Structure 1
Amino acid sequence: MKDITTHHKLSSLKCCVIIPTFNNPKTLQRVINGVLNYTENIIIVNDGSTDTTSKILEDYSLLEHIRFQENKGKGQALRAGFKHAETLGYNYVITIDSDGQHFPEDIPVFIDMLEASENKNLLLIGARNMNQDSVPKKSSFGNKFSNFWYWAETGIKLKDTQSGFRLYPIHYLKNLKFYTSKFEFEIEVIVKAAWSGTKVKNIPIQVLYDENERVSHFRPFKDFTRISILNTWLVILTLIYIKPRDFFRKLKKKGFKRFITEDVIGSNDSPQKKALSVALGIFIGISPLWGIQTIAVLFLALIFKLNKTIAFTFSNISLPPFIPFIIFTSFQLGNFILGENVTFHINEIVENFEVLKHLKSYIIGSFAFATLAALSIGILSYFLFLLFRKKNLIMTNA
């Protein structure tokens, strides 16, 4: 029976349904018929199927069809579907897999969530219950693995990042560039969507894993390798570009004073965690890790679960005006530790790069200076954060 209410909502929100399919003849017809209970605005992408799929689709000639002569991969199928949906005037698409694991009856869940949300720049991912007995262990592990990397790349914690049952705000995503073509596209798109400001969240859905009819085209070695390469690249981009970009955007928007007050002093982290974050930033900022300081500080803050904003802020102690002083002090401290008696004027650091002739002294002195500065400033900041916390508690209770 057709759900008229959901049908009207889909139409008013300019939302269609995309069904990518490749050799799923046992379940394809059931999925299409299920979606037809909610809308006729369906785009079927036949990704080069070599079985009876084309014969099955002859019964649905009134629907929109895209057909690849040969299999190109799920990413290409989805991208072609997005592009076609845009030309037809749709702003949103719901994607549902044709292997029968998703229930078309959950389509209203996506539409109701979108309709109720004030922020229409919203990407919804159906969260499956991966703990139920029918879910293969390898799928559950793969999902947890993917969730971790998504958190590392965006700072967003999701329960399910691999579900193919999704709602995409394609009119907000149309200017983003995508490069992947297989299963890894579904990771690339949600990461880049989050980076661009799209709200990405999970909503609970049903799931069915029937091994008697479900056909999976995921190739464990090839596809897992492609996904791992993509995640490695996305993490690198996060550390060298996205995190610094977001930091400076926030700093510019709030102004330095407000930024320090709200994001550094006003952070909900404990004084100890804040102080350790300051110490890490100071250490990395002074140490001779030129060119990889941003990667190093954000990676270590992530590993040790410290405040990434505070650590990154204080790693910028190595701003150009301070560099001659940092190098000169490191050099002199290195000489002292090694018992050498080599001197030069501070202007020679800039003009002649004299320090390069005594690299050993500089490196040893730099790490020593970084350690001393991190310890002293870290301890001082701990007591300052403790003081600010007590003042805030007094003001709150007054």
Structure 2
Amino acid sequence: MHNPCALIPVYNHEAAVPAVVRNLLDHGLPCLLVDDGSSPACAAVLAQLASLDNVSLLTLPTNQGKGAAVMAGFREAARLGFTHALQVDADGQHDLREVALFLDASRAHPDALICGYPEYDDSVPKGRLYARYLTHVWVWINSLSLQIRDSMCGFRIYPLPPVLTLMDSARIGKRMDFDSDIVVRLSWRNQPMRWLPTKVHYPADGLSHFRMVHDNALISSMHTRLFFGMLVRAPMILWRRWQA
């Protein structure tokens, strides 16, 4: 069974999110918005969008972070009867013309995590781009594999059953450390993954919640936790891969 939705965590992106929702609806995807403690102005926009057909809204009482919002959305999507969730950022940086390609890949491989690896244009902030290369190296070390082409791109289709199982048994990063943390932990469990290129653009007037010092420190702490977790699990990880 393949019954996907789009999952959009939102924190004060009231200017960009209506176009994202309309685009996803045009692709025939029901949308689940997760309001991560947004301002009253953004909450009003989300409430208006939720009045549209095939749009649902989950409201978190306080800001909990991107990862927490996505994970709350996974549980709500499963409760609503969806089997897969396409994670999409609310700020409009993802090229939604590629949604159909991702959906086709997910239908053909319903057990797989369908991951985007970004193709940037000149709008990408250079500091974030260089920090990304360091993250790639740590992710390859912590996953004991070169399989993960990019761990930080949030444009992915998740099969919900293995994700919910992981969430019930592991502490996953709740903020900007989420995307890398969950994909490494899924790789430890031999989760099938497929990778598709996706264009990424950072709008000049876009609102980013990435805090260069704080979030890079958070991501560094995540890599440290994953490293020691990998050391403990290394025999099991390698055994599972040998058995596959």
Partners of 1:67 and 1:46 lie apart in 2 by 5
Match of 2:115 in 1: 125
Task: Work out which of the residue numbers 60, 73, 82 in structure 2 matches 1:68.
Answer: 60
- Alignment of 1:94 with 2:86, yes or no, is yes
8 Å contact kept, 2:136–2:150: yes
Letter in 1 for 2:32: I
What whole-Å deviation, never above 9, does each CA across 1:2-44 have from its counterpart, x for those lacking one? xxxxxxxxxx611111011101122111111111102352110
SS at 2:72's partner residue?
Answer: helix
Q: CA-to-partner distance for each residue in 1:52-74, whole Å, 9 max, x for gaps?
A: 21221232224211112221101
Q: Please, which of 65, 80, 104 is the counterpart of residue 72 of structure 2?
A: 80
Question: Partner of 2:133 in structure 1?
Answer: 144
Equivalent residues in 2 for 1:99-248 (5 A)? 99-117=91-109, 120-130=110-120, 132-154=121-143, 155-176=145-166, 177-179=169-171, 180-212=173-205, 214-241=206-233, 243-248=234-239
Mark the CA change 1:244 to 1:231 in structure 2 (over 3 Å): closer, same or farther: same
CA RMSD in angstroms, aligned pairs only: 1.9
Of Structure 1 and Structure 2, which has the larger fraction of its residues in helix?
1
Distance in structure 1 (CA, Å) of the matches to 2:8 and 2:186: 21
Amino acid in the other structure paired with 2:201: L
Q: CA deviation at 1:116?
A: 2.8
TM-score by length of 2: 0.90
Structure-to-structure mapping, 1:177-326, within 5 angstroms: 177-179=169-171, 180-212=173-205, 214-241=206-233, 243-248=234-239
How far residue 46 of structure 1 moved from its aligned partner, in angstroms, is: 0.7
Secondary structure, aligned partner of 2:199: coil
Which amino acid in the other structure matches residue 35 of structure 1?
Answer: L
SS of match in other structure, 1:52: helix
Structure 1 position 200, deviation (Å): 2.5
Secondary structure in 2 matching 1:17: strand
How far off is 1:161 after superposition? 1.6
Partners in 2 of 1:159 and 1:141 — Cα distance?
Answer: 15
Tell me by how many angstroms 1:115 deviates. 2.3
What TM-score do the two structures reach when normalised by structure 1?
A: 0.56
Q: Percent of counterpart pairs with the same letter?
A: 28
Structure 2, gaps ≥5 residues long: none
Say whether the 8 Å CA contact 1:147–1:157 is kept in structure 2.
no
Give how far 1:173 is off.
2.0
Larger radius of gyration: 1
- Structure with the greater relative contact order (CA < 8 A, sep ≥ 6): 1 or 2? 2
What SS does the corresponding residue of 2:154 show, helix, strand or coil?
coil
Secondary structure of 1:121 counterpart: coil
CA contact (8 A) 2:190 2:240 kept: no
Aligned amino acid, residue 160 of structure 1: D
Q: Which runs of 4+ in 1 moved over 6 A?
A: none
